[in-house]
Amino acid sequence: MAEGHRFATHCVHAGALRDSHGAARPPIYNTTTFAFPTTSDLRSAESNPHDTALYTRYGSNPTLFAVEKQLAALEGAQAALVFGAGMAAISAACLALGRGGIVCLGNAYGGTLGLLSDQLPQLGIATRLLRPDQGDQLDALLADGYGLVIAESPTNPELSIQDLHALTAQAHRHGARLMVDNTFATPVNQRPLDLGADLVVHSATKYLGGHSDLTAGAAMGSSAVIDEVDVWRRQLGQTPAPETAALLGRSLATLHVRVREQNATALRIAEAMADHPAVERVHYPGLPSSPDHAVAARQMTGFGGMLTLDVHGSLETATRVVDGLGLFLNAPSLGGVESLATQPALTSHAGLDRGERHRRGIPDTQIRLSIGLEDAEDLIDDLVQALEGRAADRRV
Ligand SMILES: *Cc1c(COP(=O)(O)O)cnc(C)c1O
């Protein structure tokens, strides 16, 4: 893959692996091990696991190499690792880089919050979770020696924006590293490594996979940082099956087309919902009225396919709206071709008490939408009929 190509070209061609038949797509090397003509060849493969096929759990399998080259190109990284799940990437990264202490700033994925509050402390790793309004405590923790900062932007579920450039500078002043979970934005809209971050992680289960049919994760960064994470992936056995890696590579080829369309549809829906009397607040960083719009416009080239509504009323009102939707599926997860609706207070953030949710900007009346690839007007019609309580059961 020649350097200097643009994003869409990387999506299609990065990692190309032409076999002796000229296969247009990388073949699936569905094998656990690879044989060598001589012991000396085997020993040289062992010393060069990033380039030579050897053993699939190590990640040294040509199908995994191919998707990792694609993943690295999309985030502008020197190197990438593919994982069996987003949580595998996040946990390996925390174990590799977080032993000096980890601070998570702002809202984050529930699994990440759980790992930081329960499992990692059991291993003696110091962790701190700072609410969005506690950013002023970060400097003191970094001065205390916490070595890894974790942030998401846009955040789950209220889609607020963290200034990644400023956060990198703050972490680096103290010799700490910044890891960004870029699942919600995708590299189509935001490239944290270009803003100075040290590591990017993804739940590839979401937009990178894009069709709600695979579970995978990814980590991208400099070769030095990726080498630190690689040994944990290997020893914890977190590599995906070659079939899954190939399916992810297939999906990445269309990432830019899918996400650009999802950006456009989400903005169109955000504008329509902002004018609806049953909606108290629309959270979408692409709306010029959003308090985070200026920072978002500086660090993002598109605003994503996630959109969150606070409706007037109560928890039960929000449930009635979600249950009244016919086209949106009532399901957790995000980033697929089908639109989804969830209530954070009952799903992803049910583990927090109500007061803590409120302090984190997650009212009971919140509904999080993942916008798929359906027609924007059909989605708006569905939301309007559900908000106005016109639903019988119209589920498709
Ligand atoms: C879903 C998700 C994860 C976890 O990914 P899995 O693939 O389910 O392990 C991590 N971060 C964010 C932002 C997510 O949405």
Active site residue 206: yes
Exactly one of 163, 181, 230, 364 is catalytic; name it.
181
Yes or no: say if 381 and 323 are a contact pair by the CB < 8 Å rule. no
If one looks up domain 7-30+61-252 in CATH, what number appears?
3.40.640.10
CATH code for the part of the protein at 256-387: 3.90.1150.10
Using CA atoms, how far apart are residues 111 and 261, in angstroms rounded to an integer? 28
Give the DSSP H/E element, type plus range, for residue 283.
strand 279-283
- Per the annotation, the verdict on 43 as an active-site residue is no
Residue range 27-81, pLDDT digits in tens: 999 999 999 999 999 999 888 877 899 999 999 999 999 999 999 999 999 999 9
Q: Indicate whether residue 180 lines ligand 1 (CB < 6 A).
A: no
Q: Decide if pLDDT at 367 tops 70.
A: yes
- Tell me whether domains 7-30+61-252 and 256-387 share a fold: no
Ligand 1 pocket mutation pick from 183, 214, 333 by most atoms within 8 angstroms of CB = 183
Active site residue 109: yes
pLDDT category of residue 281 using cuts at 50, 70 and 90: very high
pLDDT, tens digit (0-9, with 9 covering 90-100), for 330-345: 999 999 999 999 999 9
Model confidence at 261: pLDDT above 60: yes
Residue 226 has pLDDT above 50, yes or no: yes
Question: How is the chain split into domains, by residue range?
Answer: 7-30+61-252, 256-387
Is pLDDT of 395 > 80? no
**pLDDT (tens digit per residue) in 108-134:** 999 999 999 999 999 999 999 999 889
Q: How many residues does the chain have?
A: 396
Q: If you average pLDDT over residues 362-375, what whole number do you get?
A: 97
Q: Rg of the chain over CA atoms, in angstroms? A: 21
